[in-house]
Chain A
Amino acid sequence: MQIRQKNPIVLIAALWALTAWLDGCGVVIIGRGLIIDEPFTEKKVQMIRHNETMKKDILDWFGPPAAVNRPGSVMKVPHWNKSGSVSSDVQADDFFKRFPASSEKARKPLIYYYEAAQMNWTELYGYFYNAAGPLYIPPVADRTLTVMKLWILLDETSGKVIDHQMEKTEEGKPQQKTAKKPLTNAVGVEIP
């Protein structure tokens, strides 16, 4: 049985009705949120200004990145999943494909990658007390891992931020992008 965090009211009401019917008492816990790792916040990311923000600002705000990507290299990229943080080898070029037009603007392109993670889950515990004595109902749970990924394209020569992208994924599925990705044609040239 899975309990959806989106609509716990029905379950709570049902549980309380059940406890009342049993002339017992009930206490439930429902809804847990745990911030696991938070090197950046959306508020801070909004402070990034293309061609104005410097690499120094990024390091000041977010600290060192989880991965530094230069064209042609293979990166060891740590990322969160439901059992913890794991590392995988990623071709840096895959990261640069995110910025097909902007990468050309940088004389010496470099990508800093950051990741933040939050686990939300729902657990329902029931404690009943009736004439037969206390009754404990074990928890049922539904877990959701939300990972926020941030890619920042820099020009090493000027030290300026050229572009950035932030993506929020839930259980590995892309959900929303908060930074606008430029429109490009088939060969990766930006369309004005």
Chain B
Amino acid sequence: MKGPNIFLAVFLAASLLGCVTTGATIRTERVKSIIPGKSTKSDLLDMFGAPASIAERDEILTLSSTAIMGKPFSSRFSYRLRADTFFALFPLVDEYHRVYYYYYAVSYTYPVWYVLYFGENGKTKTDRLWVLVNEKTEIVEDYAFKRYEEDTVFGRSP
């Protein structure tokens, strides 16, 4: 009986490994290459592609959730958010400003062996980038970048 026992244990442990990603990787070097007051909207789109959302002050955004590994959140959903939350990062704005929002999420699960049984743990790590663009001048005026478990890095001081 040892054969099937080991086989089942290995199969089960392997089946607990899982990973799903949402969005494109946001590379720190690329973020650092954004120069507030100089980089243009076109540079931004070249570097990061289309944003997950473009926020205008006072509007309500509908955002799509990140993909989450593990039940019961296997299927994605949407939620609503006031754009003011993004603008909290950039206090000095007018009607021409928009926040371009990017994110990259990795959700994974892994097995844990507790002598008598397996456990499964999981985490969803999200990197987020908010870029303040003046649509009138098409210039990037500021950005805020927050990697998972790290402090927010601003292009300029908030």
Contact = CB atoms under 8 A, between A and B. Distances in A.
Nearest to A79: B79
B82 A56 contact: no
Interface stretch (A29-37, A96-104, A162-170, A179-187): A29-37
A30 B114 CA distance: 10
Contacts of B5: 25, 27, 129
Contacts of A30: 117-119
B118 A85 contact: no
A158 B89 CA distance: 16
A25 B65 CA distance: 40
A65 B70 contact: no
A82 to B, nearest CB: 6
Contacts of A28: 116-118
Chain B interface mostly = mixed
A33 B122 contact: yes
A16 B16 CA distance: 21
Interface string A57-71: 001110111111000
Interface range on chain B: under 10, 10 to 19, 20 to 34, or 35 or more?
A: 35 or more
A63 B68 CA distance: 21
A32 B70 contact: yes
Nearest to B148: A38
Interface range on chain A: under 10, 10 to 19, 20 to 34, or 35 or more?
A: 35 or more
B50 interface: no
B28 interface: no
Contact of A84 (B1, B79, B120): B79
A2 interface: no
Nearest to A33: B121
Interface string B94-118: 0000000000000001000010111
A85 B16 contact: no
B75 to A, nearest CB: 8
B124 interface: yes
Interface stretch (B33-41, B133-141, B150-158): B150-158
B81 interface: yes
Interface of A: 8, 12, 16, 23-25, 27-38, 55-56, 59-61, 63-68, 75-76, 78, 82-87, 112, 119, 121, 125, 127, 129, 134, 143
Task: Report, nearest first, the 7 A-B pairs whose CB atoms are least far apart.
Answer: A87-B80, A25-B5, A84-B77, A34-B122, A85-B79, A63-B146, A31-B119
Given A25-B8, A28-B118, A30-B119, 7 more contacts: A25-B1, A27-B117, A28-B117, A31-B114, A31-B119, A33-B122, A63-B144
